[in-house]
Structure 1
Amino acid sequence: MDVEALNALMRSEFSQVANDFIVQSVAPMEAVVRMPVAEEHLRPGGTISGPTMFALADVSMYLVVLAMIGPVTLAVTTNCSIDFMRKPTAGVDLIASARIHKLGRSLAVGDVLIHSEGMDAPVARASLTYAIPPRST
């Protein structure tokens, strides 16, 4: 699936959050997803909340998996570990770079680096595994 198809899938299948995630690029086994940061993503202390960054990591991996296997919307997260490494800049979009390291018939394993736009060092890193449902024959 390409950028247009993934963004269209988000609008049709996940309309409640589609505006929170914008696929910017897709390459073999990689995707870049932007999250426009809004007031609801902030927590006390003037930073972006951990659940917001977790959601971006999870959705980014989901989208790169679908980019490679097609619109198999029942693919699900089976594992996620996230490290919050530094304070993201409040009010600045988050950019997630998702990469699949192994894509099998039933599992996809990869990681996501999250940056505050304009910041060189990542603010978070996540390692994720997705289960891919059996394909119909």
Structure 2
Amino acid sequence: MLAALFLLNAVELVGVLFVGPGFWIGFAVTGTLLVVYVIYLRSRALADQRRRRARAREAAWLAVRQAEVRREQARRAAARREAQRRLAAQRESVRRTAMGLDRPADLPAAANGGTVSYRRAGGLRGRPYQSGRGTHSA
């Protein structure tokens, strides 16, 4: 459209120079249309520029918020991992204490924390099958 108006204005100026002054009317009309169209294009360009800036501001704001969310998620994940690590260490400590593995070898059981374990040191639990109440002949 812009190129067509420029071309039309150029043709009308050539007409004014080579044909006669009657082309001034057409030149004035097409010149006015050209100026109005250029003003319209400029206003659209400014509106597009404002829209792009607004989108860029919104995108920057969104990027900042997403970074905050990612940092908070990473912090929570690290806290969860630390809590799981502590829980695993606590379970291992309880397991080692229950099995009697954490007391020093040179101390007797009663000297380690003042507790005495009433568990058997080893062997089978309960009584052997043959030592039942009576002899069963089946």
TM-score range, shorter chain: under 0.3
Normalised to the residue count of structure 1, the TM-score between the two structures is: 0.22
Normalised to the residue count of structure 2, the TM-score between the two structures is: 0.22
Q: Which has the higher Rg, Structure 1 or Structure 2?
A: 2
Q: Name which structure has the greater RCO, CA cutoff 8 Å, separation 6+.
A: 1
Q: Which has the higher helix share?
A: 2
Q: Which has the higher strand share?
A: 1
